Amino acid sequence: MHRATHRGCTVLTRIQEGLAWRWLIAKRTRFLRQTFRNGEELVTSYLSRTPCDEAICRDGTLIRHPPGRTGLAGMLLEVWFEEVYTGTFYTPRVGDTIIDAGANIGLFSLFVARRYPGARVLAFEPFEENYTLLTENLSSARASTVQAFRQALSGKQDVSVMIDGGDRSQDHQLTSAAVPEGDSRVVRTCGLADVLAMSNADNVAMFKCDIEGSEFDLFEQAADRDLHRVRRYAIEYHDHRRPGTLALLRERLGRSHVLVEKPSSEGGYGMLYATKKEL
């Protein structure tokens, strides 16, 4: 009797999970159709995991994505619909300074500029293909409150190399591999202190960080006084790229900030939200 009951509960749970997943897919596809003129194309791209090179907002703003690469629809859902970096965690206010580290083609920066035009954003994107489209997308949206930099965030000022991550536009990584002089993959790197100096702000309201493993070096080498100047962090951590990253972030930020972890169901990576304790 007990086994039969257990099996029944397991089947019911799976049915409920399946219904919840279908409902989530329905909400996501509805958002794409309602928000973008080419919503049907984006839905097809999202469901089939095939490339889509642009998103056209209802007001005509064009958002371009690297041709032939996947990821645009999923990133739009993550940043604009699910609001993974903001949500209930943070609402930008007039006068806030925000850092967008790993800006890609600018979806988070555009989200802030369109919805909260009183805030200022510094967007950092080192991969040349993404950076070119970042600047074009900011221009298309007339996002004058966003300033773009083709620099990578790491532990200190230096030069390094970006390597192509493959199919998705968000998987490119920083490496120390040697390349010929003048290679376009070479980028300048900067540390947290450099970013804060460039912001020209006493305090940064929010630091969004998605830099494919380089967050380890960035936070390992950052001084405590600089870590304390940021009120909130929304960090995608990548233990599968740099083992020990989450443990390092806990150690560096846990003394001054309240931490909330949201690991991915796939394991190896997830989101870490940090809010300064006196807020």
Q: What's the pLDDT band for 20 if we cut at 50, 70, 90?
A: confident
When computed from its CA atoms, the radius of gyration of the chain, rounded to whole angstroms, is: 20
Q: What is the pLDDT of residue 14?
A: 73
- Mean pLDDT calculated for residue range 258-269: 94
| φ, ψ (nearest 5 deg) of residue 98 | -125, 140
CATH tag, 83-279: 3.40.50.150
**Amino acid 2: pLDDT:** 47
Report pLDDT for 11: 61
Is the pLDDT reported for residue 141 higher than 70? yes
Q: With contact defined as beta carbons under 8 Å apart, do 85 and 123 qualify?
A: no
Alpha-carbon span 117 to 127, nearest angstrom: 26
* 15-51 burial: b if 16+ Cβ within 10 Å, else e: eeeeeeeeeeeeebbebbeebbbbbebbbebbeeeeb
pLDDT the model gives residue 271: 98
Which residues lie closer than 8 Å to 75 by C-beta, 6 or more apart?
A: 104, 107, 170
- Output the pLDDT for position 21: 78
